[in-house]
Structure formats: C-alpha cells, structure tokens
Amino acid sequence: MDQIALQLDRPNPADLLARLDLTASPAGITRVSYRRGPGGPVSVPETGRIGKLLRQAREELAEYFAGDRTFFGIPVDLSRVAPFDRAALDVTAQIPYGEVRSYKWIAERLGKPDAARAVGGAMAGNPVPLIVPCHRVVKTDGGLGGYSFGLVQKEALLNLERATTPYVGCASTRIFCRKGCAHERRIREGGRIHFASGADARTSGYRPCNGCRPA
C-alpha cells in the first residue's frame, strides 16, 4: 500500500496535495497525476496565466481534500482528448458531488448504451482526475470499477464526499450555495443551514446562489 494512501475516513490534505503533479495550458488544467513513489513534483512555470491557473488549482484541491469545497471553478483543457472520451468526460463532470453513476449510465447519456466498456476506457484515460470526477463512476452492480489513482484512493474520495454536506444556506438571505462558493464563506456560523441536496434547500424555501449556481 502507498505510504500516504488515503485513509478511508479522513484523508490528509497536505500529503495528498504534495503527491499531485499538475500541468496547464493558457486554456486550463491539462493534467493531474498522482505520484506513488518517492521524488518531488515536476518543475512547472509559475508565472503568467499558467502560473495563476496552477495556483488556483492547488488551492481548490486543498479545499476539496479538507471538505471545504464541493465543486471546482478551475477550467480544464481537454483539447487533446479524443472526441468520444471528451464527451464521456463532459457527462462525468455533471455528476453531483457525493453521488455516483455507472459506466452504462454515461454510455446511455451519450446515446451509445452498448459503449460502457469504451466509457471505462475514457475514465481510465481521464487526464484531470478529481477536477473531472471520474471517481464517481462505478460499475452497474455497485462495484468500484477502476481508478487511475488506485481503488483505495477512489473509495476514500467517495467516503469523503458522503461525509461532507454539499450545500450551505444563509438563514437571513434564504439563499443557498455550493460549499466553497465565495458567498458561502461570508455566511456567519450562526446563520449557516446545511442541506444534503439542492431539492432539500428549495423545499425549505431557499433559492440558489447566482454565483455558484447549485443544482
């Protein structure tokens, strides 16, 4: 087992982030890779547009691992990904935080219900895991399937998301946000109302934030 394999109930954000190598183009993050062995991160430029994107990505990933963020605002650049795989990843990006969908479900959304195996290949080749959440894609029978970072990491990420309330409402404004939204962070502790889903928030009379646009 990896020396810093994710704990099933409490991942260590500092250790995880230290093991991630990120690359970017001016259009967005192009790769997120996980180093299993010894060695430091690959040296990358930290100036200009690319540097800004890399810093934002690291900040958002750190917040995600800490349970303080349930969505990513950082753009990704999938321009070098094959068309079918890119389409599968576009569908994957819409899977809500804390939920899972099957390879077959994605294939059906693409209008190719027999292409579950090809969807599995697209998930395996996902260049930006975590930001495009292929860890939320599982087998139809509920099995984990595969994951480029390893199944221990996949299960831990799913457990982290199940343990984190994805939406926070403001009792005074009656507006709810996704966790990690700039508006959510301004809500005072005594006025924070936690919701398991957007439907729960709406049923309770809250309207969605215009900034993070919760589902």
Do 98 and 64 touch, CB atoms closer than 8 A? Answer: no
Q: Which amino acid is at 78?
A: L
Beta-carbon contacts of residue 98 (< 8 Å; ≥ 6 apart): 70, 161, 162, 164, 166
Pure H helices in 22-115? 48-65, 83-92, 103-109
> Rounded to an integer, what distance in angstroms lies between the CA atom of residue 13 and that of residue 79?
29
Is 170 in the active site?
A: no
Give tens-digit pLDDT for 46-81. Answer: 679 999 999 999 999 999 999 999 999 999 999 999
Contact of 178 with 71, CB cutoff 8 Å = yes
Domains of the chain in sequence order: 1-164 (1.10.10.10), 167-208 (no CATH)
pLDDT tens string 4-44: 344 434 445 557 778 899 999 999 999 999 887 665 555 55
Nearest-Å Rg of the Cα atoms of the chain is: 18
What would the two tokens of residue 139 be? 């087998």
Specify the range with the lowest mean pLDDT, choosing from 4-8, 142-146, 172-176: 4-8
